[in-house]
Amino acid sequence: MLLSQIQGPQDLKKLSQEELEQLVVELRDEIISVTANTGGHLASSLGAVELIVALHRVFDSPRDRILFDVGHQAYAHKLLTGRRELFHTIRQRGGLSGFTKVSESEHDAITVGHASTSLANALGMAIARDLQGEDYKIVAVIGDGALTGGMALAALNKIGEMGKDMLIILNDNRMSISPNVGALAGYFKTLQVQKWVQDAEKVGKGLLERISPRLYELADRAKEATKMILHQENPFYAWNLRYVGPVDGHDLSGLIYMLERLKDLSGPTLLHVVTKKGKGLAAAEEDPTNWHGASPFNPKAPKAKKGGYTWSKAFGDAVVELAGREEKLVVITPAMREGSGLSEYARAYPDRFLDVGIAEDVAVTSAAGMALAGLKPVVAIYSTFLQRAVDQVIHDVAIEKLNVVFAIDRAGLVGGDGPTHHGVFDLAFLRTVPNLQIAAPKDALELRAMLAAALRQGGPVALRWPRGAVEPAPEGAWPECSWGRWEVLKEGSQVYILAFGKTLGYALEAAAGDPRVGVVNARFLKPLDLDTLAALGRNYKLITVEDHQKAGGFGSAVLEALEQLGLRSEVKVLGLPDRFTDQGKPDELHAEAGINAAGIRKALALFGITSGFPAPRAG
Amino acid sequence: MLLSQIQGPQDLKKLSQEELEQLVVELRDEIISVTANTGGHLASSLGAVELIVALHRVFDSPRDRILFDVGHQAYAHKLLTGRRELFHTIRQRGGLSGFTKVSESEHDAITVGHASTSLANALGMAIARDLQGEDYKIVAVIGDGALTGGMALAALNKIGEMGKDMLIILNDNRMSISPNVGALAGYFKTLQVQKWVQDAEKVGKGLLERISPRLYELADRAKEATKMILHQENPFYAWNLRYVGPVDGHDLSGLIYMLERLKDLSGPTLLHVVTKKGKGLAAAEEDPTNWHGASPFNPKAPKAKKGGYTWSKAFGDAVVELAGREEKLVVITPAMREGSGLSEYARAYPDRFLDVGIAEDVAVTSAAGMALAGLKPVVAIYSTFLQRAVDQVIHDVAIEKLNVVFAIDRAGLVGGDGPTHHGVFDLAFLRTVPNLQIAAPKDALELRAMLAAALRQGGPVALRWPRGAVEPAPEGAWPECSWGRWEVLKEGSQVYILAFGKTLGYALEAAAGDPRVGVVNARFLKPLDLDTLAALGRNYKLITVEDHQKAGGFGSAVLEALEQLGLRSEVKVLGLPDRFTDQGKPDELHAEAGINAAGIRKALALFGITSGFPAPRAG
């Protein structure tokens, strides 16, 4: 096995072309066999194997900086940069990150997980490099989906203006997580079908010769192998970028040949590489969407797992039913159709479904425009991605109290995706915004009740639920929701646990059978149920618990409300500590942070509630 | 006077061409004479007068929706839509907003103040219009600076893909607030010099005829008057947009002629209009940067006011001095060179100054790239604009504890710009972020101490100061800063006021001469000075006061810290109430919110501290 002899990128320089081809095969096998066990971003990583081998063959990491946008396509990069033996730990607690991470390896140039950040990072690095008189190379690998994100386009704009030396590789697989959208995507497709390749003989040469004699020479030499073409009539030209491509991203020798020749060019160059997501695993090639974030599978008979019923599906089912009776309802997603449970909705109501691509800000503000024009938009978004549209929530939606519902999925700790993806800051940045109402349902039925009530009652509303399993609600069931009222689920004589969202289950578990401990489904954070809080705060000790940072979250809101009520109740706030939480199973991570049943029991013990119960277990 | 007879846009339809030209003159006079009294966004509004008259002549507001990006160029629009008599109140407390505002007029299609939002709004509106079977027109007016913001580009991408009917007017004055930057700006310039206009005869006709016979016919007819041209070789073509222009934005009859002919075209059309910022006021035409947000001036002898010494200048002076001894220091601004006090720095250190244009996300993430490559970047940004880069602070900077300093200007209530611009949410969205340190200096000298200490000590640090005047610090003075320690400025026997940032002055005023009341410069929010807080919280009553929303701010952090310390101190939290604050003088607004000396005295009275002091005044 060749792969086991690769300690770092320098070892690739010694291999023959034949050995490199073999290495590609071994890398694919390793990626498939490990993700079959652990799950992970299989399809993207399979698509980028040749590209990554070629990059490490030609460039000199860590001296040269290779930046992977999103960083989930970089499994081959991890395997080639000294992390092969730890690779089986990927996305597990204490193991390798599923993305590139600066603190994990000197070969990881950026810490990443969200899309479209690589170009701004590359811009900053190029400025720093030149200012400090250094001369390393900077290569940013960015997908076609990520490149159409506004932040990437704005960075491109500045890169083009400054003319900084760097190579941008457009890894074009015609997919972000959902099939890619947007006019530029259509444009890339045009490039892919090689409209201009066909004209290259006629048009290209003259242009090339005029613009860059060096490239002209290359084009001439490389023509057969790479169908290289540089052409003015493409959007990158307007951005002052040298455009080269499209080239076949699975032709290893062609890629190496091309990179060798591009690496010393000055100024920004964009190399357009066409790859196939899932390459090498037939099932993933055929259905890259469902293989984007793969669950563990049988490598002999690979089949994308359907999985059980989830909060995402509960939302998707609810919104399909609601749309049937509420014709003003429209659903918007920033490139997360499947992840947000909207496949069926999008099929049923294609005219009332908008996928704006990887552009969370556009998702929120186009919802504002819809609300201004009389619709009732629901923005389906992950908590971690709503971080990218805070200003739009404030400036475009909340100031005018527009009727926009934010359906926030993946709130709280999400698991294997780790610190870049945990949805643990949303309550802090949302609850400071006037006019915005915030609630979390305890189950799928309450999700339906809240969604219907939110649309009925108007104004901006944020509803928040976690990643993972939930029991389905009965079809057609649309219970009433008493807006702004908490729900006392269990009476207690000494302490009340106020639980927001997912942690309610832990609270019930911790309090089970103990008449001293009450439990409240504190489902509304804003407006907070001051009546219930006052009644409880006057007479009982309180514990708050939430799946969010302690700083600025639900417990913090309770402390503020008590101050406002003039109550000095005894309160213990349970939430995530003031550090980033690495990846791991949510249960493990909750235990570690003390926001599970054991953690609540510890807090109860501080209030003297222990007897008759098993001693709290460590961790 | 014609203007006084205009009650609404319908009155424009009756005027002759000559009268319209006269109206333009009257509008300019009115804008100049009112802003001479009140100050305001003079230069942009002067540049857009003909365009606005033409729009209201041709389109039918409020049925047709005219969206002004940023909304500060729309003074003529306000004057033509029933707000002439209130126009003298613009930007004053209780008066007209300085931007377009939905709740102010049915003619204001969007509420706005931040750049680059109009296209996503227009997209949402177009979808809503078509879904509901309506047929009004949508016109978005966007500047060349705002159009290069990522959010606008991403929206354009989706608009092009969907082919929605709308007219996008690129109001190209070659300026955002600072001279515009970016490759696209260079491209617009190329368009302006009419490279293609010269070729129109040769190239344009054939293309036009092929692509749109209707436009071809128009082009042919309009050629002399408008130099209209439609051409494939421009970036908008890649976005599926019909491009028309450039046309002279001060040729009223030409504009009307063109708008008449474009208004019924289907699909998205971009009309490129070239205007001159400050048009009609020679001083503003010559120096549009200093006339962007004008202070009151003498209309007979207009001169941009220099103004007194400000926090922005204190920062600018500090950073010029620091850069001399700290060669790794680099300063980044998202299009706010003058506003952030950086003119001198940019002159002195052009290689260590980066203006990324209106792209706050790129500003923060390019700083991350610089920090990864060994520099010490300082991101100079207004509090309200940092809302646009929350994810980048978390994802690109804080996770890896990068050495990035955020120099946050305009924190707290800013005055005439009102609710879109008040910097009153930053503490909430920042303090929930692990690894981030947050402080506020009490004066220019402490700003220097904190800035130097932040660079020395590393990790991400947010420093925050208000808009407005401050005493200059002595040149060359660089005192030490005891990181994370509060400063007891006045001892007290019963109550301590913990003041964060600007409100410290109010606290000292409220406590002056009263031995019962102590005052703390609680300058570090994170890390919070737990030792000092514990010592005070055990023995005294506490009042916190801040220029920020109460929800999630400094007081909230104090409540959390007391919970963590297990202290049930008596605390009163003073901050902004849970609603958006309209424009007005900061002093007036602070009084209204009770976060001035009188408000603090009221809180002291609740703690029984009244005697010997004047009764708190109302409001």
Which of the four pLDDT bands, split at 50, 70 and 90, describes residue B196? very low
pLDDT at A236 over 70: no
Q: What is the pLDDT of residue A294?
A: 82
**Res. B202 pLDDT band, cuts 50 70 90:** very low
Please determine, for residue B211, whether its predicted confidence score (pLDDT) is greater than 80: no
Q: Cβ separation of A124 and B419 shorter than 8 Å? A: no
Question: Using 50, 70 and 90 to split pLDDT, how confident is the model at A395?
Answer: very high
- The whole-chain average pLDDT of chain A stands at 89
Minimal Cα distance from A109: which residue of B?
B372
In chain B, DSSP finds a helix count (H) and a strand count (E) of 26, 17
Beta strands in B157-203 (DSSP E): 166-172
Count of C-beta atoms within a 10 Å radius of residue A328: 17
Residues sharing a CB contact under 8 Å with residue B217, sequence separation 6 or more, in sequence order: none
Range 455-514 of B in CB contact (< 8 A) with A: none
Among the listed ranges A70-74, A181-185, A385-389, A595-599, which one has the minimum average pLDDT value? A181-185
Strand ranges in A71-209 using DSSP code E only, listed in sequence order: 138-143, 166-172
pLDDT in the model for residue B286 = 86
pLDDT of residue A594: 97
Q: Quick check: is B352 catalytic?
A: no
Q: Specify burial of residue B51 (Cβ count, 10 A radius: 0-12, 13-18, 19+).
A: buried
Q: Which two tokens stand for residue A266?
A: 């000055």
Asked if B154 and A359 come within 8 Å (Cβ–Cβ), the reply is yes
Question: Sorting pLDDT into bands at 50, 70 and 90, what band is A244?
Answer: confident
Lowest mean pLDDT among A607-611, B129-133, B208-212, B598-602: B208-212
- Tens of pLDDT, residue by residue over A422-459, are 999 999 999 999 999 999 999 999 999 999 999 999 99
DSSP H or E segment with residue A444? helix A444-457
C-alpha dist (Å) from residue B336 to A242, A392, A396, A552, B23: 30, 20, 22, 30, 34
Cis upstream peptide for A302 (omega within 30°) = no
A331 pLDDT above the threshold of 80? yes
CA-derived radius of gyration, chain A: 26
Q: What is the mean pLDDT of residues A503-525?
A: 97
Note the pLDDT tens digit of each residue in B457-495: 999 999 999 999 999 999 899 999 999 999 999 999 999
Look up tokens 């209130």; give the residue: B86
Please list every residue in chain A whose beta carbon sits closer than 8 Å to the beta carbon of residue B372. Answer: 102, 109-110, 121, 124-125, 128
Between CA A219 and CA A209 the distance in angstroms is 10
| A582 chain-B contacts, CB cut-off 8 A | none
- Three-state SS annotation for B17-58: HHHHHHHHHHHHHHHHHHHHHHCECHHHHHHCHHHHHHHHHH
| Helix, coil or strand: residue A461 | strand
pLDDT at B174 over 80: no
The two tokens of residue B413 are 């209530």
What is the tens place of the pLDDT at every residue in B375-409?
A: 999 999 999 999 999 999 999 999 999 999 999 99
* CB within 8 Å: B368 and A121: yes
Q: What does the alpha-carbon distance between residue A36 and residue A20 come to, in Å, rounded to a whole number?
A: 24
Residue in B360, B446, B546, B592 annotated catalytic: B360
A395 touches chain B (CB under 8 A): yes
d(CA B357, CA B359): 6
Mutation target among A361, A375, A583, A606 for the B interface, most CBs of B within 10 A: A361
Neighbour order of strands in the sheet with B242-248: B65-68, B138-143, B166-172, B268-274, B242-248
Q: What angle do CA A477, A479, A480 make, to 5 degrees?
A: 155
Q: Which of B78, B388, B448, B541 is catalytic?
A: B388
Question: Which amino acid makes up residue A391?
Answer: D
Structure-token pair, residue B297: 């001036």
Query: What percent of chain A is modeled with pLDDT above 90?
Result: 76
Q: Is B360 a catalytic residue?
A: yes
User: A161 vs B185: CB contact, 8 Å cut-off?
Assistant: yes
Please state, in angstroms and rounded to a whole number, the distance separating the CA atoms of residues B266 and B264: 6
pLDDT at B238: 63
Q: What is the mean pLDDT of residues B323-328?
A: 96
Q: Do B121 and A365 touch (CB under 8 A)?
A: yes
Burial class (CB in 10 A: 0-12, 13-18, 19+), A416: buried
Which pLDDT belongs to residue B612?
Answer: 57
**Look-up of token digits 């189950």:** A443
According to the model, what pLDDT value does residue B170 have? 93
Q: Which chain B residue has the Cα nearest residue A364?
A: B120
Average pLDDT, stretch B270-278? 90
Q: Which of 114-133 (A) contact B at CB < 8 A?
A: 114, 117, 120-129, 131-132
Torsion of CA A252, A254, A257, A259, to 10 degrees: -70
Cβ burial of B66 (10 Å; 0-12, 13-18, 19+) is: buried
- Cβ of A117 within 8 Å of Cβ of B395? The answer is yes
Identify the active-site residue in B129, B277, B464, B572: B277
B contact residues 540-579, partner A, Cβ 8 Å cutoff = 549-553, 555-557, 559-560, 563-564, 568, 570-573, 578-579
Choice among A306-320, B52-66, B519-533 with the minimum mean pLDDT: A306-320
Q: Answer yes or no: A224 catalytic.
A: no
Count the helix, strand and coil residues of chain A and give each as a percent rounded to the nearest 5.
45, 15, 40
